Amino acid sequence: MSVQRAVVLIGSAKPAGTSTSEALGQYLRARLQEHGVATTVLFVDRSLKSLANQALTAALAEADLFVLTAPVYIDSLPYLVTRTLEDLARSARPGRSPCAFAAVVNCGFPEAGQCRTALDIVRAFARRARFNWAGGLALGEGGVVDGQSLETLGGLTKHVRTALDRTAAELAEGRTVPAAAVEQFSRRLIPGRVYTFMGNLGWRRRAKRNGVSSALDAKPFELAAGK
């Protein structure tokens, strides 16, 4: 059964156009569109004015595929995503027509495996909220993408794009994320040692721009000895 309408929810708190989650979500949206799936991109509600995310709920009522793209914060999903999922699960109705749910998560460590707990959480959400779990993709070294479009990054993200191409093709046909795409997506963008070296260099450069190079190791909450 082919999918007609999809919703891609970007789960990053960063401003539009600056997050890895958005870069991944926008790429997947374009591929789903190529397969004839009318795809809406929404962002997690940053306004905090309404617990019920009405635009998301309304879009999901018409969708037969829901894809979440999100960063991993401290081994799980960020607050804004967690709150959104709580709201969705609360409003889940038993009689709702079946909707597939897939997730694409990324973390700032080299190992994609550090996304595992976050993926398990979204899988558990799918069951609670009565979505049909269609599988998940995990990406390490999210800092390499850093909000840039995957095409801009050329060969660095070729395997990521291929994995998303395969995933879009399967999801569009109402099938699950293929195992080959899961493996391909999780491969390193650059060697881990290069990533950590560049990452550490990047922190130092940002600190220097902010004039706090000598304070990077500050311990503002350290207790005095003997306290």
Which listed residue (66, 73, 101, 185) binds other proteins by CB under 8 A? Answer: 73
Candidates 27, 43, 101, 109; binder of other proteins (CB under 8 A) is 109
Total residues interacting with other proteins, rule: CB under 8 A: 50
Spatial distance between the Cα atoms of 201 and 196, rounded to a whole number of angstroms: 8
Cβ proximity of 105 and 139 under 8 Å: yes
Phi and psi at 202, nearest 5°, equal -60, -40
Q: Does 13 bind other proteins (CB under 8 A)?
A: yes
Candidates 33, 40, 117, 176; binder of other proteins (CB under 8 A) is 117
Asked if 6 and 39 count as a contact pair (C-beta separation under 8 A), the reply is yes
Phi, psi angles (nearest 5°) of residue 7: -120, 125
Find the binder of other proteins among 55, 86, 175, 178 (CB under 8 A): 86
Closest contact distance (angstroms) between CB of 93 and other proteins is 18
Nearer to other proteins, 26 or 76 (CB): 76
Q: How many Cβ atoms from other residues are within 10 Å of residue 31's Cβ?
A: 20
Q: Which of 36, 89, 44, 87 is nearest to 65 (CA)?
A: 36
N-to-C CA span, the chain: 65
Q: What's the min distance (Å) between Cβ of 162 and other proteins?
A: 25
Is residue 5 a contact residue for other proteins (CB under 8 A)? no
Nearer to other proteins, 25 or 110 (CB): 110
Q: Which are the contacts of 35, defined by CB distance < 8 A and separation ≥ 6?
A: 168, 169, 172, 173
Q: Is 179 in the site for other proteins (CB under 8 A)?
A: no
Single-letter code of the amino acid located at 12: S
Which of the residues 15 through 44 are near other proteins (CB under 8 A)? 19
Q: Applying CB under 8 A, which residues contact other proteins? A: 12-14, 19, 46, 48, 71, 73-80, 82-83, 85-86, 89, 109-111, 113-114, 117, 120-122, 124-125, 128, 192, 196, 199-200, 203, 206-207, 210, 212, 215-223
